[in-house]
Amino acid sequence: DVKVTQSSRYLVKRTGEKVFLECVQDMDHENMFWYRQDPGLGLRLIYFSYDVKMKEKGDIPEGYSVSREKKERFSLILESASTNQTSMYLCASSLAARVVGYTFGSGTRLTVV
């Protein structure tokens, strides 16, 4: 069964901490995405990557960075966590060229105190 795995289901971090959210997929997908989900706002794209070492800003990249050193791993980095980054974070992956479905991870609920 193909999977997108996010390393943590729940995280609590302090304001100012550097936070790493990890996402690993085992499907050899080219595209990987990081979203955040907030009540009333739906899912919003933070960053995406369509190849190793490639990254593109999504709709709300401010306060975040990403790293994709290997095809299967896409990391989201909060350089200095703030309370307004408290949210559900979802990773997804997809094949580049074929019209196939996305696969989502189970999400990481991050609370910044």
Partner 1 sequence: KNEVEQSPQNLTAQEGEFITINCSYSVGISALHWLQQHPGGGIVSLFMLSSGKKKHGRLIATINIQEKHSSLHITASHPRDSAVYICAVRSWIQGAQKLVFGQGTRLTINP
CA distances from 59 to 27, 34, 56, 97 (A): 26, 11, 10, 22
- If the CB atoms of residues 31 and 75 are measured against partner 1, the closer one turns out to be 31
Q: What is the total count of residues that contact partner 1 (CB under 8 A)? A: 30
Give the x/- contact pattern for partner 1 in 9-48, rule: CB under 8 A: x---------------------x-x-x-x--xxxxxx--x
- Cα(1)–Cα(77) distance, integer angstroms: 28
Q: Provide, rounded to whole angstroms, the least separation between the CB of residue 68 and partner 1.
A: 13
Q: Is 90 in the site for partner 1 (CB under 8 A)?
A: yes
Classify 83 as helix, strand or coil.
Answer: helix
**Contact predicate 43/58, CB 8 Å:** no
Q: Rounded distance, CA 6 to CA 37, Å?
A: 15
Task: Name the minimum Å distance from CB 39 to partner 1.
Answer: 9
**C-beta neighbour count of 12 within 10 angstroms:** 10
Q: Which of 2, 12, 52, 100 binds partner 1 (CB under 8 A)?
A: 100
Tell me whether residue 12 or residue 100 sits nearer to partner 1 (CB atom). Answer: 100
- Contact region with partner 1 (CB under 8 A), list: 18-26, 50-58, 63-71, 78-86: 50-58
